[in-house]
Chains A and B, each alone.
Chain A
């Protein structure tokens, strides 16, 4: 029997190994889709840190995703010779600042009030992106070309999809692992405990407001990073990246995958994009079916796909354990 922690390390290693092998296995069309899935996986993970871990239901996560997406495009267009790393770095810094300021306003409230305010803020961002034509391109959007990566001794062409895929896999993968690590730290645990019993945390001397603001800024920056890669992937960004629909997308992904677990939203992003691709091939009304799936899940399986997987696993482990003497609990590390 391996410990939970070792199992997680193994799981991460297997995912990375699969990711590295993929380009030689699947077609270009599917590699395109996989890149998109990885980008959205980070977006969903960051959203889940808010919804699943802190219990904050935000309808405005797209404002960070969109800010990241637009910042990369604007930076690449207006600063000649800017490297991809620096463009991503600028996007990260911008969304961190935006997340910090927006968090200052939004986190004064909780529950429904918070949800309402985030939606209103998202609409403000959308309005700005639509009206500020000179910078954001308004309805036309912005087109960019991915700059090549220069490592000094060699240049990697980013116009080749496989190369960009590897960059995405490494950077986004590292960000997701960092999130996973974050949930295990004292800070991550504080957030969880705050959701369960904020009064007690305050009593124990934690400044819950500061913790919440840090988490909010952190998730905003992560969503911004995902947004930056979204623009780099499609080499195009329009105001749809910052619209409420983009928030709905991440909400659906996270909820379908399961808000109760760390890995659920990644599964959610995977399933969502595949189902969306499949449904949009057969019907133009795919958002309707996505919505129906969402409502059914809210009504019947509030734990998402993770809940189904867990109950199947429980079913098997109970069978396997039958007849065995009850073992003492393994001390967790």
Chain B
């Protein structure tokens, strides 16, 4: 019985991480209609920045603050000086650009930090375990889930309860009209893209101690995040929550129940959703 609850908690922790990655991805896609293939590469960058910063200062909390800010700046620069430039050529070129960017970032990471896994030890309170419903469980995994809840709630509040949220949602529907009403839509887009990058950076910092930090980590999470978006529905925040939980638990229990099939389970879920409801569980019909 305790086995099941441990695997359930493991699933929750991974779901939290998945949500942090896919929330930024789905936000940028929903707002700007750009599928950012470099999103996971930025997540990886967050993990590596955090590794170095932790190595130098030894303060994990500092990493949680600084790395997302760094990624925010990188994201803003990418949007302003690269993405906006190819926007006129159309959708295909935006995809190609982010894909090329992911490729370059991966190669850069290999160059700077080496093509091998790095271990991250956080120590402190987060590195300890806690007694929970009669089982001993690492604090860090609970911390991930709490982080995801906090970020998700904050995003929902901003989007649906503030003036900024109204402008953002309006810009999705009709960016020209919002522009004409006197709001600086290009700036809004830069902000959204940068915020998405910051979220991926935060996810990267959090992923470091949970998973290993290595150059293949970007591709690994990218596929899972894509599956989350397909299952949850494009551009839907609520869909991302549900799909993250589904896939997190599926990954976790898949290893327990069907060890040989665990890798294929996620894809099977995706294929099933594609057959039954191609627009995803919460997606609007395209």
Contact = CB atoms under 8 A, between A and B. Distances in A.
B107 interface: yes
B103 interface: yes
A156 interface: no
A134 interface: no
A117 B96 contact: no
Nearest to B220: A123
B85 interface: yes
Contacts of B234: 113
A119 B229 CA distance: 13
B99 A116 contact: no
Contacts of B77: none
B227 A120 contact: yes
Interface stretch (B54-62, B64-72, B117-125, B262-270): B262-270
Interface stretch (A3-11, A38-46, A283-291): A283-291
Contacts of A59: 37, 99
A294 B103 contact: yes
B74 to A, nearest CB: 15
B104 A112 contact: no
Interface stretch (B44-52, B87-95, B195-203, B239-247): B87-95
B101 interface: yes
B92 A287 contact: no
Interface in B220-278: 222-223, 226-227, 229-230, 234, 263-264, 267, 270-271, 274-275, 278
Interface stretch (A28-36, A103-111, A274-282): A103-111
Given A124-B264, A124-B267, A291-B103, A112 B230 contact: no
Given A119-B223, A120-B226, A291 B278 contact: no
Nearest to B82: A299
B37 to A, nearest CB: 8
Contacts of A141: none
A131 B263 contact: yes
A225 interface: no
B263 A302 contact: no
B111 interface: yes
Contact of A109 (B37, B100, B108, B278): B278
A292 B108 CA distance: 11
Contacts of A124: 264, 267
Q: Specify the main secondary structure of chain A where it touches its partner.
A: helix
Contact of A248 (B85, B95, B103): B103
Contacts of B34: 112
A298 B37 CA distance: 15
B14 interface: no
Contacts of A113: 230, 234, 286
Nearest to A128: B264
B80 interface: no
A269 interface: no
B92 A55 contact: yes
B210 interface: no
Interface string A38-68: 0000000000000100010101000000000
Contacts of B230: 113, 116-117, 120
Contact of B107 (A109, A116, A287): A287
A134 to B, nearest CB: 12
A127 interface: yes
A248 B100 CA distance: 9
B93 A302 contact: yes
B48 to A, nearest CB: 16
B86 interface: yes
A115 B82 CA distance: 20
A103 to B, nearest CB: 13
B174 to A, nearest CB: 20
B282 interface: no
Given A112-B91, A127-B264, A294 B100 contact: yes
B189 interface: no
A295 B103 CA distance: 10
A105 B29 contact: no
B147 interface: no
A270 B190 CA distance: 38
A100 interface: no
Contact of A295 (B29, B35, B37, B97): B97
Closest 6 CB pairs of A and B: A112-B35, A288-B107, A291-B104, A291-B103, A295-B100, A124-B267
6 contacts: A109-B286, A113-B234, A113-B286, A291-B107, A295-B101, A298-B86
Interface of A: 51, 55, 57, 59, 105, 108-109, 111-113, 115-117, 119-120, 123-124, 127-128, 131, 244, 248, 251, 255, 285, 287-288, 291-292, 294-295, 298-299, 302
